[in-house]
Amino acid sequence: MLRDLERRFRAAVDPAQRIDLADRLVPELVGNSDAERAALVLEAVDTSGASAEARARLYALRGVVSAMLGESHAADVEQALSLLPALGGPAAAVVRQRAAVAALHARDARTAEEQALASLALCDRHGLSWLGARAAASLYGLHYHLTGDLHAARFYAELATGLAGAASDGALRRACLTAQFDLACVFGDWDQAGSLRELLRRDRGPEAYTSGTPLRVGDALMLGSRGDFNAMRGHVEAALATETDSVDRALIVALHALALAGLGLKVEGRSAARRALGLSNAHGRRRDLLHSTIRRRLAGVLGAWASVIVGDTYHGSRALTVRGKWPGSTGVLAAALCAEARGASVDVQNRSLTQVRGYLILARTARQSALALEAATPYALTTTELDVLRGVAEGKTNSAIAGERGVSRNAVERRLMSAYAKLEVKTRGEAIAKVSSLLHSYR
């Protein structure tokens, strides 16, 4: 469709026909994030002598493209909006929706919401399901990315899904179903998440379904909350094998650390947890979206919690204490996990935890799995004691082991003495001889 529109646009001579084709071609290019080509198309259109509706629609499109290119969009959008009194309801709905998209790209949340809601009202009045679906999707993007209000994002994702279905827009319906699935997992609504997952599998097919970071992260949350950490690990590692931005990668690495911790793979889990903490501390772009910041912070919280599970309690608890002072849902999650690390009970139904309930359930399940595996370890050795014994078996001194773990030499010696007591031995050689087979299987 895109190539056909471009071919027809280049071949068109009549100004009115070129305007009509540009009005159809530019939104397609914008949808493909190709603002440069969209700008070239708009530059090749002459609006002199065009109707008020055509001029308003094209001015609004210029505003969208300018905002995408990081340029000022205000003048173009103002020109488009000034023509609204001369337009009918459907045309006004299109112009307002495009103004909303321009404001969304410019990170102007207030204007984006105002224009998108106005467009949605006009769509409802004139029965424009196809445009209403896009207006609702814009509102979803606004609340998800710019305000971090996941409750509102969830409402508009559901609305956009229904309107896209009514308009027979399969691509947008699948995109909004994906958004709903992602949010259902974040909110911990596993039944709804499972239903949405099946809808997506039927729509996309098993292979296409697994592509895309939101799907893999949602699957990881859902599988981990059920204690299926093997499957969770597979989904996360598949996501890590694809190109993702630094924010998504930080969160995925944190989920990987939790999957490894839940499987009892302490050494790999500790490495992944440290990597997640490092990625979460990396500075984002200057105009980083609010929800990118929230996801980055979530990665830090989950990485710190994974550190607690794999035995790096000093650094993990310290990191959670710091992150517990953050504002918003990530700070609440960090405070809840910090309390759980100290043995306190946290109510998962607490309303302040609603937007991170899925992450809290996953974190709790990962720790329960790790503790269950630890309880089944011969001689009741803790994972920390096994780590110290591994270091001893590798010929390392107590000082070297302490340096690797980031603790004092006395702390290592206390763990070693505790292990000796459980093993009923008195020397390093006797201890290693007794647990050599266990250390070989312990990861």
**DSSP secondary structure string, 372-426?**
HHHHTSGGG--HHHHHHHHHHHTT--HHHHHHHHTS-HHHHHHHHHHHHHHHT--
Please check whether residue 180 is in contact with residue 161, taking contact to mean a CB–CB distance below 8 angstroms.
yes
**Which residue, among 150, 118, 152, has the nearest Cα to 132 in the 3D structure?**
118
Instruction: State residue 210's pLDDT score.
Output: 46
Instruction: List C-alpha distances in Å: 122 to 97, 118, 349, 402, 403.
Output: 10, 6, 38, 67, 65
Same fold, 1-127 and 377-441: no
**Contact (Cβ atoms closer than 8 angstroms) between residue 236 and residue 216:** yes
Task: Match 């970071």 to its residue by tokens.
Answer: 213
**What confidence tens digit (pLDDT) does each residue in 81-93 have?**
999 999 999 999 9
Q: Is the pTM of this model over 0.85?
A: no
> Residues with Cβ < 8 Å from 168, sequence gap 6 or more?
none
Query: Do residues 341 and 331 lie in contact, with contact meaning Cβ atoms separated by under 8 Å?
Result: no
Taking each helix axis from N to C end, the angle separating 89-105 and 52-68, rounded to the nearest 10 degrees, works out to 10
Calpha distance 297→275 (Å, rounded): 14
Closest to 141 measured CA to CA, from 92, 171, 183, 169: 183
Q: Cα angle vertex 185, ends 178, 117, to 5°?
A: 55
**DSSP label at 284?**
-
Could you state, in order of their start, the residue ranges of all structural domains in the chain?
Answer: 1-127, 210-376, 377-441
Architecture of domain 210-376: Alpha Horseshoe (1.25)
Which amino acid makes up residue 118?
A
Report d(CA 79, CA 96) in Å as an integer.
12
Task: Kindly give the parts of the chain with pLDDT less than 50.
Answer: 206-207, 209-211, 286, 443
- Tens-place pLDDT, residues 153-176: 999 999 999 999 999 998 899 889
Would you state the structure tokens that stand for residue 102, as one six-digit string? Answer: 């321009």
Please give the Cα distance from 387 to 271 (Å, whole number): 13
CATH (residue range 1-127)? 1.25.40
Q: Which helix (H) or strand (E) holds 370?
A: helix 357-375
Calpha distance 24→94 (Å, rounded):
12
- The residues, any chain, with a CB within 8 Å of residue 154's CB and separated by 6 or more, are 180, 183, 187
Fold of 377-441: Arc Repressor Mutant, subunit A (1.10.10)
Other residues' Cβ atoms within 10 Å of the Cβ of residue 46: 9
**SS3 call for 432:** helix
pLDDT at 209: 47
